[in-house]
Amino acid sequence: MKSIDDMITWLNDDMDRVIKQKPHVENLLRAFKPVILVKYRLLEKVPEKRTVFQPDKLKCEGGIPLIKQQALFFPDDPWRDMAPAITDAIGTGFPHLAADMDILSQNIAGGKLDPYDFFRSPAALNEEKIDTGAKALGIAPPALKLFLHVLGGIILAKRAQDVAGEMATHPWNKGYCPVCGGFPKLAMIREKGQQWLSCSQCAHQWRFPRQKCPYCEKESPAETNYMYIEGERDDMAFTCEKCRRYLLTVNQPGELRETDPDITALSLAHLDLILQDRNFLPMAEGDWTRL
């Protein structure tokens, strides 16, 4: 297992490699670099919960993710402790959000805002509550949403790590995440053509049939397809005509080096632009499409 310093070195090297291969994504990768690095640093500091996470086999078979079976967010999670590092990382990567991040950090430090208030419900972040909260603070709603997505994602990633072994023993045949219910941001084709999906919220990975759309579960060769860029056959996007959704996809056989899903997805941002220009929507909203 890599130490956190080794992990940061690996992430930096991986981003440098991608920038060298795909200079058109350099600005995007450099903007998100502080956010990607802070996620890994803070994930190491989230303590394990004493709560026992026990997914119910029958509920999993019925497509009910763990987050709807039991609580995954808790008041004593380090919401306020992590906030300064996250606001600093976002402000560094996105200077136009720096002033909003300063206001947010000051309000959290002063006890005027408790980030946990946005996570008391297991459902997705409430857009109306975010808009109201942002207006009260005098900051842009997308800035608050990005902060909350990063913050909540770190907590969820820790929960996903804690329960990964248990989840692997339970059947799951849905295109959304068995841990948190999020849709995938990336698909990876691995050994023997097996497809693994990477959750946009908690980074959990699970197997899913290649022929079926994870979003609408349509399985039709006539309505699903893969779009490639000439000369980049390992980088593609799965598309579904029925629901008009797409999923960034990479060939990642076992002999290839390990890569970070966020970095990989960012390296395919040009496919996001092409497909959205063709009126397709991503299966999950990424931080880069959110901004």
* Digit-coded pLDDT (tens) for 63-99: 999 999 999 999 999 999 999 999 999 999 999 999 9
Domain at 271, CATH number: 3.90.1670.10
Q: Are residues 154 and 207 in the same domain?
A: no
Domain boundary among 103, 137, 167: 167
Specify the DSSP class assigned to residue 201.
T
pLDDT at 180 over 60: yes
pLDDT at 50 over 80: no
pLDDT class of 257 with cuts at 50, 70, 90: low
Give the model's pLDDT for residue 229: 78
Q: Are residues 225 and 151 in the same domain?
A: no
**Domain containing residue 53:** 4-167
Residues 84 and 109 sit within 8 Å (Cβ to Cβ): yes
Give the model's pLDDT for residue 116: 95
* Digit-coded pLDDT (tens) for 10-48: 999 999 999 999 999 999 999 999 999 999 999 988 988
Domain boundary among 167, 202, 235: 167
Domain count, the chain: 2
Q: Are residues 203 and 258 in the same domain?
A: yes
Q: Are residues 73 and 149 in the same domain?
A: yes
> In this structure, is residue 257 part of a structural domain?
yes
Q: Are residues 103 and 211 in the same domain?
A: no
Report how far residue 178's alpha carbon sits from residue 66's, in angstroms, rounded to the nearest whole number. Answer: 6
Report how far residue 114's alpha carbon sits from residue 129's, in angstroms, rounded to the nearest whole number. Answer: 13
Q: Are residues 92 and 158 in the same domain?
A: yes
Amino acid at 285: E
* Digit-coded pLDDT (tens) for 134-149: 999 999 999 999 999 9
> In this structure, is residue 137 part of a structural domain?
yes
Domain boundary among 167, 192, 226: 167
pLDDT at 199 over 60: yes
